[in-house]
Amino acid sequence: MKKRPNYRFLRKALFFVLPLLLLLACAIRKNDVTPYAQTAYYKETINTLQKQQPVILQGDTLKVGWAKLSITPPPPFPLAGYGKRLGKKYTSVHDSVYVRTFAFNNGKQEAYFIVLDMLVTPMTLTAALNDASLKVGLKPEQLYLSATHTHTSFGGWGEKLMGWVMAGNYSQEQLNKTTDQIIKSIKLARADAEIAKVGYGKTYAGHLVGNRLNGEESVRDTTVRFMRFEQRDGDVAVLAAFSAHATVLPSKQQILSRDYPGAFVDALETQVDFAAFTAGAVASHRPVYHHEDSFRSVDSLGTQLSRTIIPVLPTIEMHYTNTLGYSRLPLSLPAPEFRISDNYHLAPWLFYSLFGNYPSFVSSLQVGDVLFLGAPADYSGEYMKELEQLTAQQNNKLMVTGFNGGYMGYLTPSRHYMLDEYEVRDMNFYGKWGGDYLTDLFKKVIQAHRQSTATEQ
């Protein structure tokens, strides 16, 4: 006797399978590899740049001031930096974390360089600062935001699920306190400002940084870039950038710390009155140290890095300037591509539900002939050579920093797109061309600053 099909089972199977297939169809998209220069988002951003040029003015002799304030929440409080921690709380404080602020004023306009001892400048904090800056008479674009990128600072600033994974439970109270301290640091730096000479320097620290993405030791940003400021009364400050991740301390460590940037600043401040460190183009760049991942290695790396600068500080050519400029270029972005395979990614709506949907921008700050460019990302040091060459052709110097208050994930050269590595898979949020796209925009912002400076002169 022929066995009849089990239609009841088939109906039940279809009842479960069809919704699953429908969900997959809604949740998964094929990757878009259209060259960025052919896209609408690129053309929109270029159009915005043409309408929104950098604000650069020649004024009186530049005044510079500086200040720092603690932003350390007392323990226990969530740590930020490693997803595997799931926002576990730190139990003690090894070294406090700060906001360090430089104030610049040439009589016609003012701008501020702000560096936080945090993993990033969180987007939630950027939004709060946008509102707070207006209340003290400043435009948001006058605040150039950056971070040291220490992976052992406090969290509590991420609203969505992935924000909780990276930084623990959200705390509006701590966000408000951090915002208030930043605004206070701006006021203190402004009050401290005096006529000052400025200078720019570079040193080599290739022994302290490696390429963790592909092992190509020739493709690294090995340069320590820094500015030296000397007020009329003789006080000296240094602002330095370096491209090695602040990841000496491991994820299992549950003590608040600035990691090696803190040790670097402390060592430098034995020689100068004030110092600050900001993360440079850190994507794919790891710190090199020769002991275990401990505070011993933190101190050693920070001290070694300071020793690349201290001997050359007296030799830096110093001069007065009256040029000050800034900009904040809003970015139009492609749909996010959080990849689940070589050719497919999560649908944008699912990405936004996990990570949030926040604006990104390129920030810039010009102090004399030194141009700072701020990336909303872990931006790769592999791009630095070509950017620095372009800036040098225009008789300017360049410092690129990350974590400017937006976040696009890791931005690396498109040639690495198919590597099966964390940086270009899990943390590449905007597809094959994200890094090349931002680099193109950096070049155009460099040119815009040059044109605006020439017009002002």
Position 1 confidence tier, pLDDT thresholds 50, 70, 90:
very low
- Taking the CB of residue 310, how many other CB atoms lie within 10 A of it? 15
Q: What percent of the chain has pLDDT over 70?
A: 94
Q: Mean of the pLDDT values across residues 332-351?
A: 93
Cα torsion 109, 359, 189, 103: sign: negative
pLDDT in the model for residue 290: 85
What beta strand segments (E) does 316-396 contain? 323-330, 344-346, 361-367, 370-374, 378-379
By residue count, the chain amounts to: 457
Q: Mean of the pLDDT values across residues 152-173?
A: 96
Specify the long-range contacts of residues 213-221, CB closer than 8 Å, at least 24 apart.
213/283, 213/284, 213/412, 213/416, 213/419, 213/421, 213/423, 213/424, 214/284, 214/416, 214/419, 214/421, 219/382, 220/285, 220/381, 220/382, 221/280, 221/281, 221/285, 221/381, 221/382, 221/384, 221/385
Specify the long-range contacts of residues 288-296, CB closer than 8 Å, at least 24 apart.
288/207, 288/208, 288/209, 288/210, 288/244, 289/208, 289/248, 289/260, 293/248, 293/249, 293/250, 293/253, 294/248, 294/249, 295/94, 295/249, 295/257
Q: Mean of the pLDDT values across residues 109-138?
A: 98
In whole angstroms, what separates CA 336 from the centre of its chain? 19
Contact 249, 257 (CB under 8 A): yes
* Percentage helix, strand, coil for the chain under 3-state DSSP, each rounded to 5: 35, 30, 35
Q: Mean of the pLDDT values across residues 379-391?
A: 97
Q: Mean of the pLDDT values across residues 59-79?
A: 98
To which residue do tokens 């800036």 refer? 391
274 to 197, 236, 268: CA distances (angstroms): 15, 7, 8
pLDDT per position as a tens digit, 8-44:
555 555 555 545 555 556 788 999 999 999 999 999 9
Find all residues with CB under 8 Å of 122, minimum gap 6, and list them. 157, 158, 167, 175
Instruction: Supply 151's token pair.
Output: 């992976």
State the DSSP H helix or E strand holding residue 242, giving kind and residue range, or none if neither. strand 236-242
Question: In terms of pLDDT, which residue wins out, 316 or 2?
Answer: 316
Q: What percent of the chain has pLDDT over 90?
A: 89
pLDDT per position as a tens digit, 288-339:
998 788 999 999 999 999 999 999 999 999 999 999 999 999 999 999 999 9
Contact 202, 208 (CB under 8 A): no
To which residue do tokens 């921008």 refer? 361
Position 457 confidence tier, pLDDT thresholds 50, 70, 90:
low
* Whether the predicted pLDDT of 182 surpasses 80: yes
Position 251, amino acid: S
Q: How many helices (H) and strands (E) does the chain have?
A: 10, 24
* Whether the predicted pLDDT of 143 surpasses 70: yes
pLDDT per position as a tens digit, 416-453:
999 999 899 999 999 999 999 999 999 999 999 999 88
* Whether the predicted pLDDT of 71 surpasses 50: yes
374 three-class SS: strand
State the DSSP H helix or E strand holding residue 173, giving kind and residue range, or none if neither. helix 172-192
Burial class for 235, CB neighbours closer than 10 Å (0-12, 13-18, 19+): middle
Q: Would you say the pTM of this structure is higher than 0.85?
A: yes
Of 82-91, 212-221, 408-417, the poorest mean pLDDT is in: 212-221
Listed by start position, the domains of the chain span: 64-315
Computed over every residue of the chain, the mean pLDDT equals: 94
Scanning 310-396, the segments in alpha helix (DSSP H) are: 348-355, 384-393
